[in-house]
């Protein structure tokens, strides 16, 4: 999987400070433009397919932009709110474990896709981990898009056969007496891990609890920790 | 088990349980076209043109070499093109003509922007 360091608009790179070839011949400084390099073959394909399908009225000209807004609105902060609510509200927790999608929808998180959500509760006896061995299925309505490592070969191949070793690479060591349960997602069924509430958080309110819950904890590769604890 | 038998039992996506290297904790912000490609996948699904499982199989049908060499969203967009051809929604020649047209348009826009001193 290719990574693009510095592509997140970090502003650290002056536009003409690098030494690769330019296909234009002026050398005055200018603000970075939206498309500094020629679009790739695949980018051209994306634009061409989208435009052809819009021309053929298979979907509206505004639908891609609107869906990008939906994608941008989904982040692990939503999942964190769900987890915090489950920690403070036993009836919500029960409902969440019974039917993840319905509970999330009642909580105000819409599901824009046609997927079921199964919430897996970590306990003193069971640690859950989620993966999609065949592809990259993920609970996107509540967590947003998956990280690259989740989509990459090594995690997909190994999570189901040696989960404890995989967890150890994330710095997570599960005691032998705790069962590690790995759930393999499909196009139709997605999973979300409900992590254990960390000790020493009895006085935290729901918002403070939510701020502790990270994406990786809801994938199951790390536990939820309080700020005081070290990894 | 023979090598060829292995190829039949395991299609390119079916890698669960195979040995592999250390997890690389990588992540990147999606490029604009990658995000558009993801949104396209969702919109194709909403309109029942290509669903998630068809997309997955479309990626698998690219075969091991393409699956190994193309990036994540490159695999998706090529799979979409192939599925749209198979469903006779688009024809390869239409896509080729449109890609040329898009390339020319983007080049013209870039040239105009350069002339305007942007």
One-character DSSP codes across B22-68: PPP----PPPHHHHHHHHHHHHHHHTTSS-HHHHHHHHHTTHHHHHH
Q: In chain A, what residues touch B41 (CB-CB under 8 Å)?
A: none
- A139: tokens are 């609970």
Q: Tell me whether residues B43 and A56 touch, CB distance under 8 A.
A: no
Q: What is the pLDDT of residue B4?
A: 82
Residue B13 lies in a domain: no
The whole-number average pLDDT for the span B38-60 is: 95
Residues 6+ apart with CB under 8 A from B64: B12
Residue B3 lies in a domain: no
Measured in degrees and rounded to the nearest 5, phi and psi for residue A214 equal: -110, 165
Residue A24 has pLDDT above 60, yes or no: no
Residue A164 has pLDDT above 60, yes or no: yes
Same domain, B80 and B38: yes
Q: What is the pLDDT of residue A149?
A: 96
Comparing alpha-carbon positions, the chain B residue that sits nearest to A42 is: B74
Residue B1 lies in a domain: no
- Residue of A52, A56, A166 to mutate when probing chain B, most B C-beta within 10 A: A52
Q: Check if B81 contacts A (Cβ < 8 Å).
A: yes
Q: Is the pTM of this model over 0.90?
A: no
Q: What is the pLDDT of residue A8?
A: 37
Same domain, B95 and B81: no
Q: What is the pLDDT of residue A36?
A: 61
Same domain, B95 and B74: no
Residue A23 has pLDDT above 50, yes or no: no
Number of domains in chain B: 2
Segment 87-116 of chain B within 8 Å of chain A by CB: 89-90, 94-95, 98-99, 101-103, 106-107, 110, 113-114
Residue B112 has pLDDT above 80, yes or no: yes
Same domain, B79 and B110: no
Residue B10 lies in a domain: no
Residue B63 backbone class (left: φ over 0; alpha: ψ -120 to 50; beta: rest): left
Same domain, B36 and B63: yes
Measured in degrees and rounded to the nearest 5, phi and psi for residue A189 equal: -120, 120
Residue B12 has pLDDT above 90, yes or no: no
Q: What is the pLDDT of residue A70?
A: 95
Residue B80 lies in a domain: yes
Same domain, B95 and B83: no
Q: What is the pLDDT of residue B118?
A: 62
Same domain, B45 and B83: yes
Give the homologous superfamily in CATH for domain A74-219.
Nitrile hydratase alpha /Thiocyanate hydrolase gamma (3.90.330.10)
Residue B111 lies in a domain: yes
- Residue of B12, B16, B37 to mutate when probing chain A, most A C-beta within 10 A: B16
Q: Check if B39 contacts A (Cβ < 8 Å).
A: yes
Residue B107 lies in a domain: yes
Same domain, B81 and B95: no
Which of A25-29, A59-63, A200-204, B11-15 is the least confident region? A25-29
Q: What is the pLDDT of residue A141?
A: 95
Q: In chain B, what residues touch A157 (CB-CB under 8 Å)?
A: 15-20
The answer to whether residues B55 and B83 touch, using CB atoms and an 8 Å cutoff, is yes
Nearest to B33 among A33, A43, A63 (CB): A43
Residue B70 lies in a domain: yes
pLDDT band at A228 (very low <50, low <70, confident <90, very high): low
Same domain, B83 and B100: no
The whole-number average pLDDT for the span A93-115 is: 95
Question: How many C-beta atoms surround the C-beta of residue B47 within 10 A?
Answer: 13
Q: What is the mean pLDDT of chain A?
A: 87
Q: Measuring CA to CA, which residue among B38, B32, B40, B58 is closest to residue A58?
A: B40
The whole-number average pLDDT for the span A99-122 is: 95
Q: Active-site residues of A: which are they?
A: 132, 135-137
Same domain, B83 and B95: no
Q: Where are the domains of chain A?
A: 41-72, 74-219
Residue B116 has pLDDT above 50, yes or no: yes
Q: B35: domain range?
A: 30-87
Please state, in angstroms and rounded to a whole number, the distance separating the CA atoms of residues A58 and A84. 41
Q: What is the pLDDT of residue B6?
A: 75
Question: How many C-beta atoms surround the C-beta of residue A46 within 10 A?
Answer: 26
The whole-number average pLDDT for the span A125-139 is: 96
Residue A9 has pLDDT above 80, yes or no: no
Same domain, B97 and B109: yes
The answer to whether residues A196 and A125 touch, using CB atoms and an 8 Å cutoff, is no
Same domain, B70 and B40: yes
pLDDT band at A112 (very low <50, low <70, confident <90, very high): confident
Interface ipTM > 0.90: yes
């Amino acid at each position: 999987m290719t990574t693009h360091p510095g592509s997140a608009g970090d502003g650290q790179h002056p536009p003409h400070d690098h030494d690769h070839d330019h296909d234009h011949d002026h050398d005055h400084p200018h603000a970075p433009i939206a498309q500094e390099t020629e679009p790739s073959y695949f980018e051209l394909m994306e634009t061409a397919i989208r435009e052809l399908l819009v021309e053929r009225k298979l979907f509206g000209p505004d639908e891609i932009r609107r869906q990008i807004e939906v994608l941008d609105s989904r982040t692990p902060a939503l999942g964190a709110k769900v987890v915090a609510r489950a920690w403070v509200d036993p009836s919500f927790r029960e409902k969440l474990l019974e039917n993840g999608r319905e509970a999330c929808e009642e909580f105000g998180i819409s599901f824009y896709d046609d997927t079921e959500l199964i919430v897996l509760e970590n306990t003193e006896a069971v640690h859950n981990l989620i993966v999609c061995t065949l592809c990259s299925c993920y609970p996107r309505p509540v967590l947003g898009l998956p990280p690259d490592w989740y989509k990459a070969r090594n995690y997909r191949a190994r999570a189901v056969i040696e989960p404890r070793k995989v967890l150890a690479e994330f710095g997570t060591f599960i005691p032998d007496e705790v069962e590690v349960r790995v759930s393999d997602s499909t196009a139709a069924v997605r999973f979300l891990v409900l992590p254990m509430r960390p000790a020493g958080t009895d006085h935290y309110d729901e918002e403070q609890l939510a701020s502790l819950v990270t994406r990786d904890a809801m994938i199951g590769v790390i536990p939820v920790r309080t700020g005081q604890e070290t990894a | 088990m023979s090598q060829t038998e292995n190829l039949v039992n395991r299609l390119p996506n079916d890698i669960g349980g195979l040995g592999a290297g250390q997890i690389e904790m990588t992540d990147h912000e999606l490029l604009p076209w990658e995000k558009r490609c993801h949104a396209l996948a969702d919109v194709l699904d909403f309109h029942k043109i290509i669903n998630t499982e068809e997309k997955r199989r479309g990626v698998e049908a690219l075969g091991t070499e393409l699956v190994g060499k193309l990036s994540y969203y490159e695999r998706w967009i090529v799979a979409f093109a192939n599925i749209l051809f198979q469903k006779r929604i688009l024809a390869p020649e239409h896509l080729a003509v449109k890609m040329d047209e898009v390339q020319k348009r983007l080049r013209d826009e870039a040239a105009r922007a350069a002339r305007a001193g942007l």
